[in-house]
Structure 1
């Protein structure tokens, strides 16, 4: 009987097929802008839309995996952005919350990870108060945290399953 704990990493990111479909749509728009568009304004708008779709697809394909869970004795999560990777342990996480919002008649979810900022990092509220001497100090708020928000597109998985995996690994998750 094997009682060992599965310590394999879990990774979540945008499905490559979805990002590739967006890239194909961007290419179709670009080809259409260059060959089919009969007016200059339409060609410019199609080109801008194509460049935006291609940039979005490149982001989704290059920034992978967006979230990694390293399980084991010292569980950690790794968040990947354009700026690089950041690793956080349970002590670095102020709160993980699963939110359900209603937008345009649909329910959408968000996984919010509130990370305690590194010592010495600038606080945006401080710079705001320095610029605006005529305003009172910023209200009490968690001044040393950073909010990271993921949706289903970012993680390519059901957010409840991701929250369950984070909870099983030892991270406290609010629902």
Structure 2
């Protein structure tokens, strides 16, 4: 049991980061702290996907050695298929690590490849997620700046109180002589 936990230390670290990000997101009233919590949570998701796509003994999907000899561009489909098979084998988190490598090696051998290649698709997708996350964080910070200019604070509970006071004042102005709706 201890060996099972220690072998998956990166997943435990990812779960810890997730929980820290979620706690910060939900517990803080400061809008910038909420954005930081959201960013930490997003980073943990990206790390999770990168950890899942790792293949023991896998290398970048660039043909070298015996795999590169005598093969042109048409062999790229074989490399992609072997890498995808290797990624599928690596996703068996509950499976024994030795079996994942054997399945990956079998996938490479069945496509006539000497080396084990990693699938680059998860890494490319996470790179895209990083770019989108940075852009979203920038927009969020720009919105926080505008909120600060409009309200004079970035504390969500203070902003909510100000909005409630304005709404009650408008209601009292529009409906003179009526009882307070609150």
- The TM-score, its normalising length taken from structure 2, stands at 0.30
Judging by fraction of residues, say which structure has more helix: 2
Structure with more strand by fraction: 1
Structure number with bigger Rg: 2
